[in-house]
Structure 1
């Protein structure tokens, strides 16, 4: 434990890449294989999942960016679905879908299985939930507000994959920096409470915010701190006029009553007084299940926290399915896994998938008869990067395009 008293409890980049976050049985396996001269055994390993969180029909594959940084420079070949691909746990015929494969001497990467699966499990879980939330919101805005619900070292990771999955904006500064966008947020209750405590008037906080904060930042007033939301919203609208972009309702559950009715009242009050331009942002317990009703009531944007940032990870597993013996690939796998090297074929029309041996000719879609294309692409070949992951904005666009084809 030497040195741990002086640092936060998290693994550094170098510690992860060197295999120090692995499960101990891998380091013990290395000792055994080394003793018997088997570390150079060439294997083909594939990553699959038996089911998606909450029995979802589809998920968003994410985390490839991290995996490639983990494996680049190792004597391995990595094939993968493209980052942001909407995938199914099983193909049209019920076979498990490989999302990523690694080939090479087992000793090159055996300790990296644990962090590899962790990257994919977490990123895919976050991106999947963000995509489901965005699909529920439709054209309305989804703002990722969940950094405070996870370990702070994960904030950039969470925001990155929330955005990739479909969130329109993120609130954590470092997460926004990783994405190359500007962080988006409103104001905390503490700002209004301090102004009320010092000056006796919390509405002065709205004016101070407008006075101090850069002019190109949207003015969103928090309107549920002391009085009725409809009255505070109207006061804010009168105070800031056309400069007010929106009002935010973060009403605690103990005072909320019927949140939809509160939103309707606020919308009506603003509209009837000529403030149609003011948007309504809601936060606090927002998830895909309640978004449609809140949107119908008049909400224009959704600040989503724990639903995305603490999303259930995808339970991926990594297994040997082939070994190279005397220069030839031989299928071999444990019970419950399909042996051999495989390819995944996708129908871009209906998003159906078919898993087949890697030397199989591309089939036609069993659902619509259209030609299918191979999904697993080579990203690292013999340790060298041969294909880049798209930038997060392109990946997000790819996710949103696929969402249009997802069956309800």
Structure 2
């Protein structure tokens, strides 16, 4: 069997921490099963060196809470937020969502962590292509989720068939080393793999050749250019660490050689163990990048949920644990900064970010498409620095 939860098990609260089921039992026994609360989701501190994060996962949170006797306030999915910003608030009977806290936090934290890393990568690369190649670093049950998180965070494409299909985009990818190895062993010529790839793939698939399997990167890139001619869109360098040396010099050498022989239009893509430092070094010499593990396993955006108000005799009473700010709050976007106020206070500036997405269990706001969310993220990235 696969140790994964089904959607119905998640929605029914089966993936909760056991102390929430015990809390439900205690509150019911004490006659407090109808107590209404306002529970706030926020980040007290961001990972070291991070100035902002990207809020994602709202689409799935809406599905978890759909039909529940709660009202959900949240920032739009894809909003860049800062330390202590309330990004989401659930209002309603506590027992209506108590056993869902674990799942909701897991959704927001994992989504936002991947999206934030993808946004940082895209901020570094700017107009250069960034493809998410991280599915093989994850359990297959969550690959589509990771693809969505990376794409709306700023990546230009994703590699898996299902992840792309669920978002209505085409999957991106080139070819594995396995293709050249099989042709080399079976017919004695690994370049035949490139020819057969060109013969087999439909015209809308870019001819990007993996150029580092058996020969020097420069030699393989030139061979591919001579064999495929104008049909060659680009070469991908996935040089293993044991042969890599100075990757920037390798890319520069390939670029120089291609240009020297009249192949200036052939693009160069780099993949394999890339993270922010390597991307900073390579971003001006390569045309695109495949980034995987760094986005799949990013620093955690540690979102917490805390009750900040409890309804007593029809009145909302601000209350929370030590170290947290009690009371229902609103966040205003004032240029490139956020201002937090008490809910209902006069607007200090700008536009409010928290809005109703669910009211008494009914979804009241349309959720944007993944492409629209990604565009929203990219527009905000232009306003901030790493």
- TM class by shorter-chain length? over 0.9
What TM-score does the superposition give when structure 2 sets the normalisation length? Answer: 0.99
1:288 CA displacement: 2.0
Matches of 1:156 and 1:181 in 2, distance apart? 12
Match of 2:297 among 306, 310, 323: 310
SS in 1 for 2:340: strand
Could you tell me how far apart the structure 2 residues matched to 1:110 and 1:20 are?
A: 12
Structure 2: distance between partners of 1:161 and 1:178: 12
Q: Deviations over 1:342-369 (max 9, x none)?
A: 111111x22x111111011010xxxxxx
Quote how far apart the aligned CAs of 1:400 are. 0.3
Task: Please give the residue correspondences for 1:128-207 in structure 2 after superposition, counting only pairs within 5 Å.
Answer: 128-207=116-195
Aligned residue for 2:308? 321
Q: Deviations over 1:177-212 (max 9, x none)?
A: 111001010000010000000111100000010011
Once residues 336 and 395 of structure 1 are traced to their aligned partners in structure 2, the CA distance between those partners, rounded to angstroms, is: 33
How far, CA to CA, are the matches of 1:230 and 1:51 in structure 2? Answer: 46
Deviations 1:87-118 (A, max 9, x none): 101xxxxxx21110000001101000000000
Distance 2:153 2:276 in 1: 14
Secondary structure of the residue that 1:238 maps to in structure 2? helix
**Aligned pair partner of 2:341 in 356, 359, 378:** 356
Match of 2:215 in 1: 227
Q: CA deviation at 1:286?
A: 1.2
* Residue matched to 2:368: 390
Q: CA deviation at 1:407?
A: 2.8
Specify every segment of 5 or more residues in structure 2 that has no aligned partner in the other structure, as ranges. none
1:253 aligns with 2:247: no
Give the match for residue 76 of structure 1.
Answer: 70
Aligned equivalent of 1:20, options 11, 14, 17: 14
Shift in Å at residue 11 of structure 1?
0.6
Q: Between Structure 1 and Structure 2, how many residues are aligned?
A: 386
RMSD between superposed Cα atoms in Å = 0.8
CA distance in 1, matches of 2:324, 2:172: 45
CA deviation vs aligned residue, 1:40-88 (integer Å, no higher than 9, x gap): 1000100011112234000111000110000010000000010000110
Measured in 1, the distance between the counterparts of 2:245 and 2:189 equals 26
Query: Cα offset for 1:388?
Result: 2.1
TM-score for both structures, normalised by structure 1: 0.93
Shift of 1:130: 0.4
Q: Distance in 2 between matches of 1:158 and 1:289?
A: 22
Q: Residue deviations 1:299-346, cap 9 Å, x none? A: 100000001111223111101110111111111111111111111111
- Tell me the SS of whatever aligns to 2:48: helix
**Corresponding residue to 1:376 among 354, 365, 381:** 354
